[in-house]
Amino acid sequence: MASRSGGCLCGNVRYTINSEPALTVVCHCTHCQKASGSAFSTNFVVPRADVVFSGGEMSAYDDQADSGNRLSRSFCPTCGSSIMSESSGHPGVVVMKVGTLDDPSMVRPTMQIWTRSAQPWVRFAAEMVSMEKGR
């Protein structure tokens, strides 16, 4: 498996991932809508130990997710790009933002969660697993 790299808009925060995503998911929760400034957030999940950061330090905003878990949302303090989230409900893994990859075309979401909060005009492929709430 080749490593994948990514980073923020201004280039201050960079990362390399040394594993395949365990899960690729579109999240429609109200918090992801606010944090992304869009109708949903597209994410992939990898072990935290497989992500190597370089460049500047990230800032974080601690939030309570729709699931009730504590969620730490990390972002570049210079340009504001969302990079990743870590949930108290899933220790040892990180949720990386697909749009921060240098080549986001490699990601094919297989699941969508929190569909009860999805905007009515958003539609995804019928073969995608859909969950009204989170995992």
Position 99 scores a pLDDT of 94
Percentage of the residues of the chain whose pLDDT score is greater than 90 = 49
Domain ranges in the chain?
Answer: 4-128
Are 32 and 80 in contact, with CB atoms under 8 Å apart?
no
What is the value of pTM for the model shown? 0.86
Q: Residue 135's pLDDT band (boundaries 50, 70, 90)?
A: low
Q: Give yes or no for residue 125 having a pLDDT over 80.
A: no
Q: Give yes or no for residue 66 having a pLDDT over 80.
A: no
Give the Cα separation of 67 and 70 in Å (integer): 9
CATH topology of domain 4-128: glutathione-dependent formaldehyde- activating enzyme (gfa) (3.90.1590)
Sign of CA dihedral 64, 65, 71, 76: negative
Position 9 scores a pLDDT of 95
